[in-house]
Amino acid sequence: MTRILAVCGVAALATAAPALAQQAGLGNPATTPAGTSEGGRGIPAAREPNDTDRIFTREVLIGGRAEVMFGKLAGERAHATAVKQFAERMVQDHTRSGDDLLNLAQAANLPVPEGLDRDHRMIRDELDKLNGAAFDDAYIHSQITDHQQTVQLLEFEIGSGQDPAVKQFAVQALPVVMRHLQIAQFLAAEREGVASRINPERDGNALR
Amino acid sequence: MAPFTRCLLPAAVLLTLGLSAAADQLPPQLTYRTLPTQPFDAVRTADEAEKPAVQQRQRALLEERYDLSDRPTPNVMMSAGRKPVQGGVRVKLPRGATWESLAQMSPDDIRRSNLFPAAFLPLPHVKQATGGQVFPNNQIDEIAKQESRNLRRFDVDFDLPDRFTPEFPPPIFLSSHPELGDVSRGQLLTIKNYYALMIGLITPVQMEGLRLLLTPFPQEEFNQTEDRKSADQSLGVTCLDCHSNFSTNGAFHQTPDVRPQAARFRLDTVSLRGLFNQQIHGSKRSLRSVEDFSEFEQRTAYFNGDQMSAQRKGVNLPERHDQTAMMAQMQNIIDFPPAPKLDPLDRLDPSQATAEELTGERVFMGKGQCAACHVPVTAFMDNNLHDLKLDRFYPLGATVNGLVILPEGPIKTFTLRGIKDTPPYLHDGRLLTLADCLEFFNLVLGLKLTQDEKNDLVAYMLTL
């Protein structure tokens, strides 16, 4: 079984770092809410969120909360070592990124959601009923879907968000979430014996 | 494991998948265009204020990636003799790397060491978040002069230096009149002059097709609504505003085939020369006829693949049984520029070609593997889409000037006939010279070409 280490995903960000601050501010003024104050010429001031920032923050805070919850559940229930390790990594990465986003949301006065939404409650209820290999399969598959959706949400924020700090959060998170998705897909493929697969963790830089 | 349990497992998995997949989790703006939230004047004021920073950001990216200096290839002009062909490798190498050292590395090693040249990554639109059509200044000025129609945007300018775009206006070669050579008289075809230029040369249906290809129709950034990027209410754009004289002026856009906006890669306008031999159309869509394509561009190039937006701004759907057929009739008589050194099977005539060009052709057909897709006898195309799997070389998900760097998937093979006339290269224009293309494919296909072989290949491609 391939080793999946619980690691700090931030290492994967090294390539995305340059000129982030410069990039984050420029947007599409057509969708800037009326009355937004300017921080630079034509550029919205810091902590001036738009609807995209609000939707994104809500969805990703709930999603991240669910990742931590399901990851802890998987830590107790998962059968396979690789799935357990993946779950540990989800708990670590999503706890940290959830805290970061929560701070940004509070700084920008964005609404902070409580608990889980309907979709994640349904997943939780399903996972609650399962054990052993059945749990592992269901957990990994729900992780694939969740990370697919998170990738789309991050791209949504990068393309249409306004608050530079929230946008920059999305820019930094995307490579990490993409990596999580690749690992989850690999784990599923390996569990199902899919004929041709490459371990995304073959890159040393993601393992430290 | 008991057979009973085994039966249950897939059901449990499906149930979980079904539950999460049935939900409407993602916001509609990921797929559909958002309407402006502010009056036109407020948007324009903010766009204009932001513009210097937008241009500066793009300029910095270009300078970081490329050597943009003026280094024309001696004695090599484009087909009408109006512009020299820029030479040399313009892609900047990562610190400490050489082309030879990179060529010895595996894709995994290059990715792990972060040594993939940045210019080989997708080239962002000058303003990714807004996107849309951006025309070069030569086109804008000529259309303003001839038609008093405004193609200038207030939010962005064209980004690449003029020396890396096609000559303007490009020459026009008709497959129905090879004996005449360039019939453009050095002019840009417009709705004003097309009849005077083409009467006697083309058929009635071709003439009507040409008129339609030169008639402006509302477009996403050029229309009469508040959701536009021209200062005045615009009459719209024409097909040949990008495909100048049925070639290209280097105008760019974003792929209509991808969402969300941040993931839409840039598209450099493709030349329409030699369309008569092209079986599939669109970089990703693989439309099966130019009639289909001419019809559907009103949904895609014009409105980003958003039919709701088209409906609102003024949709033009050319009549299928008549109008698109006539547009196709016109497009299908546009020939490539002459290639006097090629024989009837599009191979070099040894009595005409230099030793260097002939060696280049041998590498093209052999070690270079170019002809695997760019097959000479089928106009240097294979009428297929291929995935170069470039994402072997870089980690996914970095953001560059608002563009999220993802795998681009299969893209159509483009012709190499007349290739010296139509820089920049690759579907998004990320490569500025033919020498850049050789370094790109040398790395991506793992060819390990020698410097002599690369030079000979460039010499050969200039004969096409």
Across the range B90-115, mean pLDDT stands at 95
* Separation of alpha carbons B261 and B309, rounded Å: 15
Across the range A191-202, mean pLDDT stands at 81
In the three-class reduction of DSSP (H, G, I as helix; E, B as strand; rest coil), residue B267 is classed as strand
Across the range A90-101, mean pLDDT stands at 96
Residue B135 lies in a domain: yes
Residue B224 lies in a domain: yes
Tens-digit pLDDT profile for residues B65-99: 999 999 999 999 999 999 999 999 999 999 999 99
A41 to chain B: nearest residue by CA?
B49
| Residue in B9, B54, B399 nearest the CB of A174 | B399
Asked if B9's CB is within 8 angstroms of A42's CB, the reply is no
Tens-digit pLDDT profile for residues B122-178: 999 999 999 999 999 999 999 999 999 999 999 999 999 999 999 999 999 999 999
Give the confidence band of A4 by pLDDT, cuts at 50, 70, 90. Answer: very low
Q: Which two three-digit tokens encode residue B255?
A: 């792929």
Name the residue type at position B326: M
* Separation of alpha carbons A9 and A165, rounded Å: 19
Residue B146 lies in a domain: yes
Helix (H) or strand (E) holding B252: strand B252-254
Chain A residues in contact with B21 by the CB 8 A cut-off are: 145
Residue B370 lies in a domain: yes
A53 to chain B: nearest residue by CA?
B27
Nearest chain B CA: its distance from A38 CA (Å): 9
Query: Is B67:B436 a contact under the CB 8 Å cutoff?
Result: no
User: What is residue A19's predicted lDDT score, i.e. its pLDDT?
Assistant: 46
Chain B residues in contact with A153 by the CB 8 A cut-off are: 26
User: What is residue B1's predicted lDDT score, i.e. its pLDDT?
Assistant: 40
Mean of all residue pLDDT scores within chain B = 93
% of chain B at pLDDT higher than 70:
95
% of chain A at pLDDT higher than 70:
85
User: What is residue B151's predicted lDDT score, i.e. its pLDDT?
Assistant: 97
Asked if B17's CB is within 8 angstroms of A141's CB, the reply is yes
**Range(s) of the domain holding residue B337:** 40-463
B397 to chain A: nearest residue by CA?
A175
Residue B448 lies in a domain: yes
Tens-digit pLDDT profile for residues A29-80: 877 877 788 777 777 888 888 999 999 999 999 999 999 999 999 999 999 9
% of chain A at pLDDT higher than 90:
67
User: What is residue A57's predicted lDDT score, i.e. its pLDDT?
Assistant: 96
**Of the listed ranges A107-116, A190-199, B249-258, the one predicted with least confidence:** A190-199
Tens-digit pLDDT profile for residues B383-406: 999 999 999 999 999 999 999 999
Across the range B413-425, mean pLDDT stands at 98
Asked if B53's CB is within 8 angstroms of A40's CB, the reply is yes
Asked if B51's CB is within 8 angstroms of A31's CB, the reply is no
| Domain boundaries, given as residue ranges, for chain A | 47-203
User: What is residue B34's predicted lDDT score, i.e. its pLDDT?
Assistant: 87
| Residue in B23, B47, B112 nearest the CB of A42 | B47
Query: Is B32:B261 a contact under the CB 8 Å cutoff?
Result: no
User: What is residue B321's predicted lDDT score, i.e. its pLDDT?
Assistant: 87
Asked if B114's CB is within 8 angstroms of A15's CB, the reply is yes
Chain A residues in contact with B57 by the CB 8 A cut-off are: 19, 22-23, 26
Across the range B110-126, mean pLDDT stands at 96
Chain A residues in contact with B227 by the CB 8 A cut-off are: 30
Across the range B433-447, mean pLDDT stands at 98
Establish if A159 touches chain B: CB-CB under 8 angstroms.
Answer: yes
Give the confidence band of A197 by pLDDT, cuts at 50, 70, 90. Answer: confident
- Phi and psi of B159, rounded to 5°? -100, -30
Query: Is B87:B433 a contact under the CB 8 Å cutoff?
Result: yes
Which of B1, B13, B258 is best to mutate for the A interface (most A CBs within 10 A)?
B13
Tens-digit pLDDT profile for residues A136-178: 999 999 999 999 999 999 999 999 999 999 999 999 999 999 9
Name the residue type at position B222: F
* Separation of alpha carbons B257 and B265, rounded Å: 9
Name the residue type at position A45: A
User: What is residue B265's predicted lDDT score, i.e. its pLDDT?
Assistant: 97
Q: What is the pTM of this model?
A: 0.91
A117 to chain B: nearest residue by CA?
B25
User: What is residue B23's predicted lDDT score, i.e. its pLDDT?
Assistant: 58
C-beta neighbour count of B98 within 10 angstroms:
9
How many structural domains are present in chain B? 1
B221 to chain A: nearest residue by CA?
A30
Query: Is B329:B209 a contact under the CB 8 Å cutoff?
Result: yes
Packing angle of the helix pair A164-192, A81-107 (nearest 10 deg):
170
Give the confidence band of B275 by pLDDT, cuts at 50, 70, 90. Answer: very high
Query: Is B319:B220 a contact under the CB 8 Å cutoff?
Result: no
Residue B436: left if φ>0, alpha if ψ -120 to 50, beta else—which one? alpha
Asked if B8's CB is within 8 angstroms of A126's CB, the reply is no
Asked if A203's CB is within 8 angstroms of B395's CB, the reply is yes
Residue B121 lies in a domain: yes
C-beta neighbour count of B227 within 10 angstroms:
18
- Partnered with residue A43 across adjacent β-strands are A40
User: What is residue A42's predicted lDDT score, i.e. its pLDDT?
Assistant: 74
| Residue in A34, A118, A138 nearest the CB of B16 | A138
Residue B2, pLDDT above cutoff 60: no
Chain A residues in contact with B36 by the CB 8 A cut-off are: 30-31
* Separation of alpha carbons B221 and B216, rounded Å: 13
Across the range B430-440, mean pLDDT stands at 98
CATH architecture of the domain with range A47-203: Up-down Bundle (1.20)
User: What is residue A195's predicted lDDT score, i.e. its pLDDT?
Assistant: 76
Give the confidence band of B199 by pLDDT, cuts at 50, 70, 90. Answer: very high
User: What is residue A18's predicted lDDT score, i.e. its pLDDT?
Assistant: 41
% of chain B at pLDDT higher than 90:
89
Give the confidence band of A203 by pLDDT, cuts at 50, 70, 90. Answer: low
In the three-class reduction of DSSP (H, G, I as helix; E, B as strand; rest coil), residue A40 is classed as strand
C-beta neighbour count of B66 within 10 angstroms:
25
Across the range B237-250, mean pLDDT stands at 97
| Residue in A34, A133, A175 nearest the CB of B395 | A175
Chain B residues in contact with A183 by the CB 8 A cut-off are: none
